[in-house]
């Protein structure tokens, strides 16, 4: 059974009588009779939909500081200008009209108090950052997501299809034939039988044979061995390709073959053996290999400082630990169903819930990742390889499936937060200076106009500098 859509396991698993079968999994070959034990609303896929909806409802929309500030700031300044224009002439007999009159000073305050520079300081920086990311093939869904990216301190990764290629390949081919005069090619024999199967492990062996430019020999009388392998006749010989337990039970072989098979299995790989007429000639190991860029990306993320990396996967612990050691993940949590990934993300969030300056990001690609993507503060999906559900739920989409964009968007979001903060401080500082000059009678209407327009232009130009952030 191919359970990748539910558990994320990279290799299909064997199912026998009495085993549980998840709704939404795929029977790769042979006939299967199953008993329905739950209603449709209670199956795994339905629970995943419920998890997505629950996680999305838990995320409140981000209320931006400038929006809240402007709602109070504008009426307060208007009321202040009115009082400044009226109170000094009424209470202390100050001049109301004239170049230095309190009406002119109030008008100067209104002009410089116009929140153009203040209000535009945020959107111009956000739009500049979002468009720059889009040009690089990264879709960031809104300024709230960009802001949250700058606060991420924990990156949680799915394994299969995210840190790995998502498809098994042959990693080891060992010749163990005890007949020194044997001239048969074990891989060629295995590929001849497996070429008639659509199983991912079979495709991995056939692809390796094609890579080595081996001729695919014809096979006949091919049969499936109860989910443990295949057998057929090639060049007049009975060829069997099956798991190590199958050969342990049916075909005598040396301790050396067992040791090699156990060594490869301990490394988190799926082991297959091939024999011709009861003579084992080769041992194969198949595994889902890490993406070529995964280790580089994790190193670059850690170099940014203050970032922790975690792998959340439905695969077994041995496979997960092997991949984690190869790519350099800090922590591994294996054997997780979709609800297990959601619970793990929630646990990571609880660890930093008292610090508003931190956030948790989850990177995934499959249907089974959608609930965790929705639960995370920032959900990041692989665009090309990602499922429709993952792309719809995610806050960020890597359109080119390139993990190397992750350090880039973290740097971009951090720079964007710094730029927004600098723009706000600058805009308020300019207004404070001109306010002081106007109240002291040392300002003018033209100075207020120039200061307001100049501040707006400066924050716009500063925000556009984000287009220069590099990967």
Residues noted as catalytic: 158
CA 135/CA 231 separation, integer angstroms: 52
In the block, residue with structure tokens 């979709």:
338
Edge-to-edge strands of the sheet including 220-224? 164-175, 279-290, 270-276, 237-243, 229-234, 220-224
Residue 367 is classified by DSSP as G
Q: Considering only CA atoms, which of 412, 420, 466, 331 is closest in space to residue 149?
A: 412
Q: Which residues pair with 272 in a beta bridge?
A: 243, 284
- Contact of 383 with 398, CB cutoff 8 Å: yes
Residue 378 near residue 152, CB atoms below 8 Å? yes
Classify residue 71 as exposed, middle or buried by CB count within 10 Å of its CB (0-12, 13-18, 19+).
exposed
Return the residue matching tokens 């920086």.
Answer: 125
Contact criterion met (CB below 8 Å) for 126 and 146 = yes
């Amino acid at each position: 059974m191919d359970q990748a859509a539910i558990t994320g396991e990279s290799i299909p698993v064997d199912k026998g009588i009495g085993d549980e079968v998840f709704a939404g999994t795929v029977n790769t070959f042979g006939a299967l009779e199953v008993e329905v034990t739950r209603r449709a609303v209670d199956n795994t896929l339905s629970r995943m939909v419920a998890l997505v909806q629950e996680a999305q409802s838990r995320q409140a929309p981000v209320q931006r500081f400038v929006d809240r500030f402007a709602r109070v700031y504008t009426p307060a300044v208007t009321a202040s200008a009115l009082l400044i224009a009226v109170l000094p002439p009424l209470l202390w007999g100050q001049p109301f009209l004239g170049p230095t009159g309190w009406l002119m000073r109030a008008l100067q305050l209104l002009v410089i108090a116009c929140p153009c520079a203040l209000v535009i300081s945020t959107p111009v920086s956000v739009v500049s950052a979002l468009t720059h990311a889009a040009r690089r093939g990264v879709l960031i869904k809104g300024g709230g997501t960009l802001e949250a990216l700058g606060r991420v301190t924990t990156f949680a990764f799915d394994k299969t299809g995210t840190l790995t290629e998502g498809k098994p390949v042959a990693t080891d081919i060992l010749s163990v034939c005890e007949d020194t005069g044997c001239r048969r090619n074990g891989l060629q024999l295995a590929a001849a039988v497996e070429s008639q199967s659509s199983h991912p492990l079979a495709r991995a062996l056939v692809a390796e044979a094609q890579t080595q430019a081996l001729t695919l020999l014809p096979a006949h009388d091919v049969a499936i061995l109860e989910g443990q392998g295949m057998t057929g006749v090639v060049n007049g010989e009975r060829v069997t390709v099956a798991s190590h337990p199958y050969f342990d039970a049916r075909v005598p072989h040396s301790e050396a073959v067992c040791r090699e098979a156990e060594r490869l299995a301990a490394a988190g790989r799926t082991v297959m053996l091939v024999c011709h007429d009861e003579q084992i000639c080769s041992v194969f190991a198949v595994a889902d290999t890490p993406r070529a860029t995964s280790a580089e990306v994790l190193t670059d993320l850690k170099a940014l400082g203050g970032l922790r990396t975690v792998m959340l996967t439905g695969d077994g612990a041995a496979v997960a630990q092997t991949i984690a050691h190869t790519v350099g993940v800090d922590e591994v949590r294996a054997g997780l169903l979709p609800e297990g990934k959601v619970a793990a993300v929630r646990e990571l969030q609880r660890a930093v819930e008292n610090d508003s300056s931190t956030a948790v990001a989850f990177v995934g690609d499959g249907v089974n990742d959608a609930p965790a993507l929705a639960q995370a503060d920032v959900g990041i999906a692989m665009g090309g390889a990602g499922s429709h559900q993952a792309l719809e739920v995610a806050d960020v989409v890597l359109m080119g499936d390139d993990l190397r964009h992750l350090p880039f968007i973290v740097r971009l979001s951090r720079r964007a937060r710094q730029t927004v903060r600098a723009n706000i401080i600058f805009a308020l500082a300019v207004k404070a200076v001109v306010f002081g000059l106007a109240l002291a009678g040392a300002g003018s209407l033209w100075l207020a106009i120039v200061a307001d327009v100049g501040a707006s232009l400066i924050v716009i130009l500063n925000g556009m500098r984000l287009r220069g952030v590099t990967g």
